[in-house]
Structure 1
Amino acid sequence: MIEQQGRVVALENGAVWVETHRSSTCSACSARNGCGQGLMDSIGIGQQRKMLRASSALNLDVGDSVVVGVREDALVRWAVFVYLLPLLALLAASFVASRMALGEPYVIAAGLIGFVLAWLAVRAHARRRVADPQLQPVVLRMMRVDGVGLFPRGSDLEGSKP
């Protein structure tokens, strides 16, 4: 699971809306002082707040801090599909146009047409799969207010300190 911390901002039946704070991993990089991305993060440009709907079986309230997760295998498959398919279509269409001995403008146009058609196919497929439970974020656990540990609400460990 790929995990992200967030705060519950709205409740639904069987799901919650979570606001996440996304920033880059520059804080862990040794080159952060000489990097443009590190500079942008230090002044707040690279940080964004996102809202996402996550399914949840936990008893949560608005304002609770939670950890949401997305399955790694699903994320990797979709990343390959979204990025690789249009690129392969661009290359294949350009190759076919080139093998047909068309001029350079036609090869370029064929590549762009292949890219756009593949992008439209990816978009249509994504719209059909938007409600797939395997692809949805899930609330994994609730964070304690003091930030010391992560325990599901109501567990025996919730009141104890490590």
Structure 2
Amino acid sequence: MLREMGRVVAVETASVWVETIPSSLCGKCAARAGCGQGIVSRASGHRGLVQALETSAVRARDCRVDDEVEIELPESAVLKGSLLVYFAPLLFAIAAVLLAQPYGEFATVIAFVLGLAVGFAVVRVVTHWLLPRQSFEPRLYSVTQPQTSVANTAVIARH
């Protein structure tokens, strides 16, 4: 399981929205320094919003805004998602190129672009209609209530 810490920004009926910085996953990836996502998120300080589904152990109603939560995602979901998103469109594009090859170079280029578009459309249909969406979404793993500190409270004094 891949786990990430984040802060709850909104609570819904069966899920919570969590603000994360994708740093722990970036540190485990083999592409660390060369990954565009990691470079952009570190440079901009961009925080991602993720919808995490509740589990039997941690319910959405147990969470409050500003709680720290740990979310998890199975490695199999990352692997299946990567194969589906990258491999399927490329496979359609190569098949289209092979079919259009006898018609010339221009037809081959057009067939590649069309095959790629059809591949992305197929991925969209498969992920939207055939595969259960919940298998690709992160889930709540644990909740840590925020500690109220004196430094965070505002004191207004009148003279």
Deviations 1:73-96 (CA, angstroms, capped at 9, x unpaired): 122111101100111111111112
Tell me the number of residue pairs that the alignment of Structure 1 and Structure 2 aligns: 139
Q: Secondary structure at the match of 1:128?
A: helix
Stretches of 4+ aligned residues off by more than 4 angstroms? 26-29, 35-42
- The 1:96–1:129 alpha-carbon spacing in structure 2 relative to 1, beyond 3 Å, is closer
1:41 Cα shift? Answer: 6.4
Residues of 1 paired with 2:82 and 2:35: CA distance?
25
Q: What's 2:16 paired with?
A: 16
The normalised TM-score by structure 2 is: 0.72
Q: What's 2:84 paired with?
A: 81
Match of 1:71 among 52, 70, 74: 74
Deviations 1:30-66 (CA, angstroms, capped at 9, x unpaired): x96xx79788666x23x42111211223422111111
Q: Secondary structure at the match of 2:103?
A: coil
Partner AA of 2:67 in structure 1: D
Partner AA of 2:77 in structure 1: A
Residues of 1 paired with 2:115 and 2:41: CA distance?
36
Q: What's 1:55 paired with?
A: 53
Give the helix-richer structure, 1 or 2.
2
Partner AA of 1:86 in structure 2: P
Mapping 1:97-136, distance limit 5 Å: 97-98=100-101, 101-128=102-129, 132-136=133-137
Residues of 2 paired with 1:76 and 1:140: CA distance?
20
Q: What's 1:6 paired with?
A: 6
**Larger RCO of the pair (alpha carbons < 8 Å, separation 6+):** 2
- The 1:96–1:130 alpha-carbon spacing in structure 2 relative to 1, beyond 3 Å, is closer
- The 1:145–1:10 alpha-carbon spacing in structure 2 relative to 1, beyond 3 Å, is closer
Q: What's 2:26 paired with?
A: 25
Identity of paired residues, percent?
26
The normalised TM-score by structure 1 is: 0.70
